[in-house]
Amino acid sequence: MSRFFRNVSDSESDSDSSSTDSYFSDSDATHSSEDESEDERVSTPTAKGGSNWFMKGASDSDSEDEVKRVVKSAKDKRIEELEASYKTIENALKINDWVAVSNEYEKMLKVITKINANSEKIPNSYLQILITIEDAFDDIKDKKKLNSVKALKQKVKKNNKLYEKRIEALRNGQEEEEEEETPVELPTKTKTKTVHIVDDEDIEDGFTTVGKSGKTIEVSSETLPKKLREVIQARGKKNTDKNEQIQILGKLLAVANTPYFQIKVLFALISARFDYSSGLATHMTTEMWRSTSQSIHTLFNILEINPEISIDESYEEIDDVDGEPDANVDYNKIQGSIVSFIEQLDDEFTKSLQNLDPHATEYIERLADETPLVTIIIRAQRYFESKKQIYNITRTVIRRIEHTYYKPDHVITTVEKLVYENLSKQSETKIVAPETTPEELVRDLCVFLYKNAEPLLRTRAMLCHIYSVALHGHYYDARDMLLMSHLQETIHQADVTTQVLFNRTMVQIGLSAFKEGLIRESLGCLQELHNTGRVKELLAQGTSNVRHGQNPDQDKLDRQRQIPFHMHINCELVECVFLTCSMLLEVPAMAAAGTNPEAKKRIISKPFRRLLDYSDRQIFHGPPENTRDHIMAASHALAAGEWERSRDFMWDIKIWNLLPEPEKIKAMLASKIQEEALRTYLFTYAPYYSTISMSQLGQMFDLPSTRVYSLISKLIWSEELNAGLDQVRNMVVLHAKEPSTIQRLALNLADKTSSLVEGNEKIFELKVSDPSAHLSWSKNTRRTQPNRAKN
């Protein structure tokens, strides 16, 4: 089609634009009267009429009077270009033609540049195009196709940040009204509509809105039940406009004049907001989340003012009918689930944190919404306590625990103080008093769940309780609680999130043991996790880069299970503690293995051995740069008996500052290094001494004589050192030299000979007591003799 025809036909769309504060009707008479009153409106023919006008001659004066050529401004042409691009992009997305989408997107950017140059307002139609493209990216499931459009996705994401507030407003249904002109709407039907302005004076106790087909919708307190029923029935249907439903329910809430209908409308409104967000690929927007939380607060306000009203899932559904209420129906018992709203709101908050950059300011700003969320949880807990709904109380309490157990005391105290400042005294719960300490708060909440909750919630409460106890430095209490619960025996049968919580608890117990100087216990807690080589995955703090044959759906599910960044345990700190414990145990064991070949079979920490072997194979050892390098350098110094260098290397690790009381941790490390250096020295050089002065050992390793005496006594008692103590001379007397290679082989031969003699005696006893048993045994031995010969 030529440009001349396009200008004529496009003028029809100008007659379809209307004000957002008006409604449509199909009256032709009214339409003609309004056309006469508008000076700037030009009457245009249909597409067919346009063709006839071109075929007519210049002598037809009547046609020239009726139809005139429309001269469009540059602004209107730019808007038409945006609409044309939108149609092209929409068709291209249907067939996944991303090349065409990219080309049309570049054209739109040029048009927007012209609009900005003329200081014009960006039309809503352009923002709608951006939303369409952004949603299309979220629907791509093929990774290869997603990589091919990665450049375009980055451009769109960068450009959308310029209009972030307006895009959120459009998604939430809060479209901004443009000044002087009506918003540009994309043409859906070529149906002429008449616009009427509705004055506020004509509406007394209701409101009037414009429906999708141009018909007016009037709602008042009398027609509210019918309209509410229509909205609820339309929920979940294919062609239901979720945004329009939210707007209608918001108006219905303003019209509702009884607590019963206010609660019913609030339930429908909160559900509609969650439904609107369920269609999004990521999470509920911040504005929508805050609106939902405010609606839940409004619901609790109504319930506190009307304590006779009770809400529970077990109640029967009440059929709302127009007219007078039924006298046989108890309208104070409303069917619904408040706790499901609390859980959905909490889940959406977690999803939003998962999808934000943890190093950006937006994450910190979003994290500030946790205090209002905890406020809602405590209000729900108090309401369920007043109604004695034990099952709902347990589901609410576990959510409160999961927002509390991992935090330091000063953070918990601050949050609880802010929460109770926003709540009235009536909102205080009976389970926990407001003035309790953070440790007592977690304990009281968990004890309530031990008595009343189902097995899954009890398990999670137990793990949270153990985590909190270990976080406060009570290792032995945490260990005893874990052993008494027997969770380590059945945790493999639990769901994935509970297994992640168990792994987090074990790590925290290991850190608690390390802070108390219990090296072997700390290694026992951390070793199983580190032997897998997938610490981040098992703690739900990240995914591995290499995933051979990973199902995309499973990968997406794993990412949804990731815990928010502020709940992470520092994996570098955990690795540092694990390698430090391994060093303090492995280096003396390796020194003992130098004189005892049987000890070589005992490997305490395979990851540490691999790192140490790799470090030994290096030709040049430069200065340590990271945590692993510092620990390897300290290990080499410890093996050489240079405990001071080993201590200095360990003290240079900056990550110790992340632990509480770092100076105390460093002092503990220095003491452990001195002790293990003494043990390593004795294992290494014992064959070359006949006697060693304990005072000299104390001077070499800067240890008091009592501590040296204690360490050597333990070595002698455990038969790790073949020596004795001369208390008169304060000496360590080595009784005999370590056996040579020939002596060791002779001892092994003697052991094998003794075992052979014992076997012959058993055979003789069998032969004497039961000859048949001897024959069957001899046949079996003959069958195995060829295999022994081969070996």
**Region 551-571: what's the mean pLDDT?**
85
Neighbours of 708 (CB within 10 A): 23
> Which own/partner contact pairs does 163-166 have at CB distance under 8 Å and 24+ positions apart?
163/122, 163/127, 163/130, 166/122, 166/124, 166/127
Per DSSP, what are the bridge partners of residue 335? 312
Amino acid 105: pLDDT:
81
The predicted-structure confidence for 69-117, as pLDDT tens digits, reads as follows: 556 677 777 777 777 877 888 888 777 777 888 888 888 887 787 777 7
Label residue 556 exposed, middle or buried (CB < 10 Å: 0-12, 13-18, 19+).
Answer: exposed
Q: Convert 189-222 to b/e letters by CB count within 10 Å (16 or more is b).
A: eeeebbbbebeeeeeeebbbebeeebeebebeee
The predicted-structure confidence for 606-628, as pLDDT tens digits, reads as follows: 999 999 999 888 888 888 889 99
Does 607 or 739 have the greater pLDDT score? 607
**Region 21-39: what's the mean pLDDT?**
40
Does 139 or 179 have the greater pLDDT score? 139
Q: Is the pTM of this model over 0.85?
A: no
CA 513, 397, 479 angle in degrees (round to 5)? 20
The predicted-structure confidence for 426-443, as pLDDT tens digits, reads as follows: 556 778 876 789 999 999
CA dihedral 313, 315, 317, 319 (to 10 degrees): -140
Give the pLDDT band of residue 11 (cuts 50, 70, 90): very low
The predicted-structure confidence for 759-774, as pLDDT tens digits, reads as follows: 898 888 877 776 555 5
Please tell me the least confidently modeled range out of 26-40, 224-238, 255-269, 507-521: 26-40
pLDDT above 70 (res 233) = yes
- In 3D space, the residue among 136, 140, 172, 183 whose CA is nearest the CA of residue 157 turns out to be 136
Can you read off the two tokens belonging to residue 146? 């997603």
Per DSSP, what are the bridge partners of residue 197? 22
Neighbours of 51 (CB within 10 A): 13
Does 213 or 125 have the greater pLDDT score? 125
DSSP states of 210-244: E-TTS-EEEE-TTTHHHHHHHHHHHTT-TT--HHH
* Phi-psi region at 312: left, alpha or beta (left = phi > 0; alpha = psi -120 to 50): beta
Q: How far apart are the C-alpha atoms of 397 and 346, rounded to whole Å?
A: 13
- In 3D space, the residue among 520, 648, 644, 539 whose CA is nearest the CA of residue 586 turns out to be 520
DSSP classification of residue 533 = T
**Residue type for 594, please?**
G
Amino acid 189: pLDDT:
37
Q: How far apart are the C-alpha atoms of 295 and 372, rounded to whole Å?
A: 13
| Contact of 649 with 624, CB cutoff 8 Å | yes
Q: How far apart are the C-alpha atoms of 736 and 718, rounded to whole Å?
A: 17
pLDDT above 50 (res 16) = no
The predicted-structure confidence for 39-49, as pLDDT tens digits, reads as follows: 444 334 344 44
Which of 187-196, 422-431, 648-657 has the highest mean predicted lDDT (pLDDT)?
Answer: 648-657
Per DSSP, what are the bridge partners of residue 507? none
Does 687 or 371 have the greater pLDDT score? 371
Q: Which phi and psi angles does 428 have, rounded to 5°?
A: -70, 135
**Region 540-552: what's the mean pLDDT?**
69
Share of the chain above pLDDT 70, in %: 76
Amino acid 172: pLDDT:
74
Q: How far apart are the C-alpha atoms of 530 and 173, rounded to whole Å?
A: 49
Secondary structure element (H or E) that encloses residue 311, with its range: strand 310-312
Give the pLDDT band of residue 244 (cuts 50, 70, 90): confident
